[in-house]
Amino acid sequence: MTIVGLTGDEAVAYAVKQSKVDIVAAYPITPQTIMVERFSKYVADGEVQTGYVCVESEHSALSACVGASLTGARVFTATASQGLALMHEMLYIASGLRCPIVMGVANRALSAPINIHGDHSDMMGSRDSGWVQIYAENAQEAYDWTIMAFKIAEDNDVQLPVSMNLDGFIISHCMEGVDLLEDEAVNRFLQTRKPLFTIDPEKPITVGALCFTDYYFEFKRQQVEAMQNVSGVLDRVCKEYRGVSGRNYGALETFGMEDAEAAIICLGSTAGTAREVARKLRAQGKKVGVVKLWLYRPFPIEEVSAALKRVKALAVFDKAISFGAPYGALCSDVVSALHTLKEEPKILNVVYGLGGRDITPSDIELVFNEALDTAKLGIVKEKAMFLGVRE
């Protein structure tokens, strides 16, 4: 194992290189671009045998990926923000045709007004598109999850596309030490894709047929089944990856949850800041904890309920707005997951960081204290809070 200084985007590109993909079809967009720039250099230098398709739009990027995936090839693409929005139609088709494509998404705000910085509006807007969604906290996780993503996507019980999300700029552009696996270790872990079906002229099949009222529903039902299978497959893949890398992964990661009275649940890089603040507060005797979701789709209902069943108050951090909805997307999912608990925690929804607005340790400390107050009083003073905005 070697520790190398890489940005999140570079770490993903390196993982894709080691994953021996057949096709990368992508279109540049900030803050994803470094992924495909680095990868195209690997192609130009002959370090990989991958076919790099420089498409003319993100819509065509995912279209080319679907075509390539149907041949049985291993396929990667990357995007962000407007690019993901332009792919929207194809997201549903990639999952509906059961193409195990892996996509790096350097999460970025959606226009208007136009903004290039990080928030989760892009992927949250695609949460019903049938893609498995994983969120990384740092460059190391982005690297590890990219390799694992291929194995999860291509599993016979899954056969679904996976998005590997990393916070725009905060992870995509920040250089960190990343512990890289040897190529040989990745080869042993991943092997080549063994597709269930392909468009082979020797065994002709029709893909993408028209399904009316008599069959469409059954296809969708099968996709639900595949999504449900992700959980078990992910556990197995994480366990195997632990054997290769020594690093522990799963649907979520907790900190201080064994005795926490108040907790924060969030996705991505914010978890690191929240953990540092929690560590400080716990040293002061305050019982706080953090739950970081690695897996957002399928939503790990049981793991989330198990992690949160003892807390009295919970702050759910949403880095996107769901206009007109009861809560932000993550909060709505958490509320749904917890409603079967005998004693539900009091829930505070914190919308933060839109358009890349910084979230500081003092912001998080304020929320922890608010949550501790809520736990003590048993009353939610403010159901939804916009953290760090000028009102």
Partner 1 sequence: MVTLKELSAEELFASGHRLCAGCGEGIINRMTMKALRGPTVIVAATGCSEVATTIYPFTSWRIPWAHVAFENAAAVASGIVEAYNAMARRGAWDKKVDVIAMAGDGGTYDIGIQALSGALERGHDFLYICYDNEAYMNTGIQRSGATPHGAETTTSPAGNVIPGKPEWKKDLIGICAAHGIEYAATASPAYWNDCIMKVRKGIEVNGPAVIDVLSPCPLGWRHDSARSIEMVRLAVETRYFPIYEFERGKYKLNLNISKPKPVEEFLKLQGRFGHLFKPTYRKNVIDEIQQNVDANWNRILKLCAN
Question: Counting contacts by CB under 8 A, is residue 160 touching partner 1?
Answer: no
Question: Counting contacts by CB under 8 A, is residue 54 touching partner 1?
Answer: yes
In the complex, minimum distance from the CB of residue 88 to partner 1, in angstroms, rounded to a whole number: 11
Compute CA 45 distance to the chain's CA centroid, rounded to the nearest angstrom: 30
Query: Do 160 and 153 touch, CB atoms closer than 8 A?
Result: yes
Query: Do 249 and 155 touch, CB atoms closer than 8 A?
Result: no
Q: Quick one: 49 or 340, whose CB is closer to partner 1?
A: 49
Q: How many residues sit in the footprint of partner 1 (CB under 8 A)? A: 46
Question: Counting contacts by CB under 8 A, is residue 167 touching partner 1?
Answer: no
CA atoms within 13 A on the CB side of 165: 29
Query: Do 8 and 105 touch, CB atoms closer than 8 A?
Result: no
Buried/exposed code over 264-277 (b: 16+ C-beta within 10 A; e: otherwise) = bbbbbbbbbbbbeb
Q: Quick one: 25 or 233, whose CB is closer to partner 1?
A: 25
Q: Which stretch binds partner 1 (CB under 8 A): 61-69, 172-180, 250-258, 377-385?
A: 61-69
Structure-token match 């920040």, residue found: 174
Q: Which of 129, 157, 147 is nearest to 186 (CA)?
A: 147
Footprint on residues 170-199 left by partner 1 (CB under 8 A): 192, 199
Separation CA 386–CA 350 (nearest Å): 6
In the complex, minimum distance from the CB of residue 216 to partner 1, in angstroms, rounded to a whole number: 9
DSSP strand pairing (262-267 vs 75-79)? unpaired
Question: Counting contacts by CB under 8 A, is residue 73 touching partner 1?
Answer: yes
Separation CA 65–CA 69 (nearest Å): 6
Question: Counting contacts by CB under 8 A, is residue 64 touching partner 1?
Answer: yes
Q: Which stretch binds partner 1 (CB under 8 A): 7-15, 49-57, 104-112, 175-183?
A: 49-57
Q: Quick one: 74 or 312, whose CB is closer to partner 1?
A: 74
Q: Quick one: 57 or 228, whose CB is closer to partner 1?
A: 57
Please select the residue that binds partner 1; options are 45, 56, 128, 391, rule is CB under 8 A. 56
Question: Counting contacts by CB under 8 A, is residue 78 touching partner 1?
Answer: no
Q: Quick one: 61 or 234, whose CB is closer to partner 1?
A: 61
Query: Do 79 and 87 touch, CB atoms closer than 8 A?
Result: yes
Question: Counting contacts by CB under 8 A, is residue 323 touching partner 1?
Answer: no
Separation CA 378–CA 126 (nearest Å): 35
Separation CA 19–CA 6 (nearest Å): 17
Q: Which of 266, 30, 57 is nearest to 168 (CA)?
A: 30
Question: Counting contacts by CB under 8 A, is residue 200 touching partner 1?
Answer: yes
Footprint on residues 86-115 left by partner 1 (CB under 8 A): 89-90, 93, 97
The residue ranges that bind partner 1 (CB under 8 A) are 20, 22-23, 25, 49-51, 53-57, 59-61, 63-73, 75, 89-90, 93, 97, 192, 199-202, 204-212, 215
